Chains A and B, each alone.
Chain A
Amino acid sequence: MDVAIVHTDGWAAGAAARRADRDFFDTAEDEGFSRDSCSYLRMNLGCAAIADTGAVSNVAHPEWVMPRPDLAVTIHLGCELHGGWQQAVCQRLGIPGFFVDQPFVWRESEIDRAVAAVTRNLRELVVFLEKFTGRRYNWDRLKELVANTKKSALLRMEALALCRNKPAPATYFDWLISLAPINFLLGMPVSYEYFTKFKVELEDRVRQGVAAVPDEKYRLHWEGITVWNKVGWLAEKFASLGAAVVSGRYPHFGFYAEPERIDPERPLESLADFMVRFHLNRNLDWLIGATVRMCEEYSIDGILFQAVRTCRAVSHSQLEVRDGVSKKMSIPTMIFDSDHTDASYYSDAQLDSRLQGLLETIDANRVRR
């Protein structure tokens, strides 16, 4: 529709990674938002308040203040809070909004029905956008964007799979940074260019035995999101211990993880299929199974569970997943507390001691074998 969009989650991640989060959190707190609520949401509503009052000059990083939107569109994607998020943004800014609802997948047998419902909901969104913009929907453009998304996502998944090699040519932290091309630049030719180059580079590294973590000693799986404020710092920390985080839920299960399912000629159905099958929208059995498969494919030695304090959509099932995985695989796990963008929940001392414990357990298991 040639509508300029900002994806609020991705924006929050980027702002936190650039240490531009403080003003948004402070403003959100002044508005009355609790620290116990989703930190992506708090940053977004804090930014909304700044944009609404025009107090951009008071902000330390004005380049990260989003322009005041004319419209808010939210999709469920397995997180019920998105409805409340929509309500909060629309009420705060007095703008119209559209929410794309979707059913949670309790049983795999319900997927087709759920996809049909979400396809219908997306059609409603199209009607809404036509009415709002006064323009006819450009279906050809949508098909083109979906086709580009498929191309980029296929390449990305092929490149991800290269990290099954030992040593891994890239780590979880490289894939977090590479979310921007599959998120902000989704459907654009530059996204395809990025993953083409990235995959070539990784293939070269595999051929030459170049490791992302020199002297890769431990291969870990990250169950959670990340601490966006500390991506580089965490990458260095893990590397210094010879620990390569070679897989993780956030980049591996999200962001068009099944691109072969995309049919550009059926763009709405394809998008609906992606939304319904999104990892936050799947039942425990699926999540446990997917985690076990990932650990087997990537030769994982241990799993970190990041108890993401204010993202209950990710952390809600972790203790059950931990139990389920440990019943099927004898690999050690550890849990540490933090948050995806609110750094006040992160304790370096806690991560250090628990990570050390995990690695020592891996060593002890190896000796026993």
Chain B
Amino acid sequence: MHFPEELVHAAGLQPVVLQDSEESITIGHNHIHPFFCRFACGSVDAAFKGKLDFLDGVIFPDTCLQLRTVCEILLRDSRFAYIEDLQFPIDLRRPYALSDSVEQLERVKGNLQQFSGCEIGDDSLRRSIILYNKNRGLLRSLYEQRRQMPGILSAKEMQAIVRSSMVMSKEEHTILLERLLAEIDNKAAISNGKVNVFLSAHLCEAVSEDILDIIEQAGAVVVDDDLYSGYRYFAVDADEDGPPIEALAKRYLNQIPCPTRLDLESDWGQYLVSAAKTSEAQGIIQLVVKYCEPHLVYYPHLKATFQRSGLPHLLLETERDGMSLGAIQTRIQAFVEMIEGEKVG
């Protein structure tokens, strides 16, 4: 689940979506148990090693218990001048979900104004929304290009493009994206004979580039995804008309199904089956971060849905240290060969 960065941007601040740390976790485990997800442990570890000292403040969308833990630890540590927890409602379909979300955003807006010394008026927030929508629209265009011409960008390249949007100036990234889209028309697809796969989830963290390489080296091409460092980031726009805070709240309520939220009117499994069909994916690789409890709890329903639909799927659990890439390679290879066999058969 992503925080509405427009709110920070409109305060004249640079929002940076915190990325997962690649370092081994050491002093972090003085503060957080090792059976918490890598992103939670890594963020705490990075903070206490001083790697996050470039940040003036940290805002947590109250995604899950584990990220709330990180917020609690950093609050107690008091190293950041500004720490915020945005408590959006978990149940997206209650009548008060919109008003509660608006209330929370108004509260954070007030605190951001105080911290930055800059008023966040409707006009400035609307301008930020327009800019972010433009960036999201360009990323969606890039994804559509990839659906039409699988392999036009490698999975690693695509993830890097999305991640760069998360950490750099949105103005600058938008210009670069426009240039890329103009150049990419001239590139050729390189997916002949490859198995089309859809990558799903890997919440709160980027997928290891080693794994993305393994997938492509096994004879697969990634045609689409709903990754955290992928389509999830830019799938939905905020309304550019009407009250901008309400627009951000509505955007929150209408995201791609997320297992950290409760939404009995939507079905992540059906969403994935439908998205895979649209992108002509022949299989789904469900990427679960070890100890990501919301995803682990939702997974059985996904499994049952994929089985009913006949869509081949592979569950891959990734972990921070000691992950056996050899074993992962074997499993991905077998998955791709199984689909290839079905194609021939």
Contact = CB atoms under 8 A, between A and B. Distances in A.
A138 interface: no
Interface in A69-85: 76, 79-81, 83-85
Given A80-B65, A83-B91, A124-B95, A88 B36 contact: no
B69 A283 contact: no
Interface string B263-299: 1100100000000000000000000001101101111
Nearest to A283: B72
Interface residues of A, number: 48
Contact of B300 (A38, A45, A318): A45
Interface string B65-82: 110110011011000000
A80 B290 contact: no
Contact of A120 (B85, B96, B293): B96
Contacts of A83: 90-91, 260-262
Contact of A85 (B31, B91, B297, B317): B297
Nearest to A96: B264
B297 A37 contact: yes
Interface residues of B, number: 45
Interface stretch (A146-154, A254-262, A309-317, A347-355): A309-317
B160 interface: no
A84 B294 contact: yes
A36 to B, nearest CB: 5
Given A83-B262, A97-B264, A88 B31 contact: no
A189 B68 CA distance: 39
Given A37-B296, A84-B297, A284-B72, A309 B66 contact: no
Interface in B8-36: 30-33, 35-36
A319 interface: yes
A27 B23 CA distance: 37
B163 interface: no
A350 B209 CA distance: 38
Interface in A104-140: 104, 106, 117, 120-121, 124
Q: Is the interface of A mostly helix, strand, loop or mixed?
A: helix
Interface in B75-105: 75-76, 85, 87, 89-91, 94-96, 100
Contacts of A92: 300-301
Contacts of B261: 83
A103 B89 CA distance: 8
B297 A316 contact: no
Nearest to A317: B72
Contact of B75 (A41, A103, A284): A284
Nearest to A28: B300
Nearest to B302: A32
Contacts of A33: 296-297, 299-300
Nearest to B85: A106
Contacts of B267: 91
A359 to B, nearest CB: 24
A86 interface: yes
A283 to B, nearest CB: 7
A194 to B, nearest CB: 33
A104 B66 contact: no
A302 B299 CA distance: 41
B64 interface: yes
Given A32-B303, A106-B85, A124-B95, A313 B291 contact: no
Contact of B36 (A37, A81, A312): A312
B151 interface: no
B61 to A, nearest CB: 12
B262 to A, nearest CB: 4
Given A32-B300, A84-B262, A312 B293 contact: yes
A336 interface: no
Interface string B37-79: 0000000000000000000000000101110110011011000
